[in-house]
Amino acid sequence: SHGNKEVFSCRGILLAVQWFWDRGHKDITVFVPSWRKEQPRPDVLVTDQHILRDLEKKKILVFTPSRRVGGKRVVCYDDRFIVKLAHESDGIVVSNDTYRDLQNERPEWKKFIEERLLMYSFVNDKY
């Protein structure tokens, strides 16, 4: 949301990570589809891509798998990675997604998502 739905703002990810880091939360994992590492296309703009690589080197960011089959990109369902890790590590999910489909997928996830989902917003660069 930092990119106002016009660009994928890697800086927005960094701002969110920094906000939690500054408050003492050191066990932070960011999931991003691996295709975000690719050269951006004109219809899918990405800003400050180097931030993704920097966060990956610091073991804060994990790229979820994707591949090309017959010229088409096949991506995994990264929401499942997010909810599974947060549930297993007794963490929280920071997202504006409601994960409604995953609430119905596993009963133990329903209560977890209802109680451990933290939604957010940006005001310019303020998280």
Mean pLDDT of 104-122: 92
Q: What is the pTM of this model?
A: 0.84
- Comparing CA positions, the residue from 95, 113, 125 lying closest to residue 18 is 125
pLDDT score recorded for residue 3: 82
Specify the CATH number for the domain of residue 40: 3.40.50.11980
- The pLDDT of residue 1 is above 90: no
* Domain assignment of residue 19, given as a range: 8-118
State what percent of residues in the chain have pLDDT above 90: 60
> Which amino acid, 105?
E
- The pLDDT of residue 67 is above 70: no
Residue of 40 and 95 predicted with greater confidence? 95
**Burial status of residue 47 (CB atoms within 10 A of its CB: 0-12, 13-18, 19 or more):** middle
Within a domain: 20: yes
* Domains of the chain: total: 1
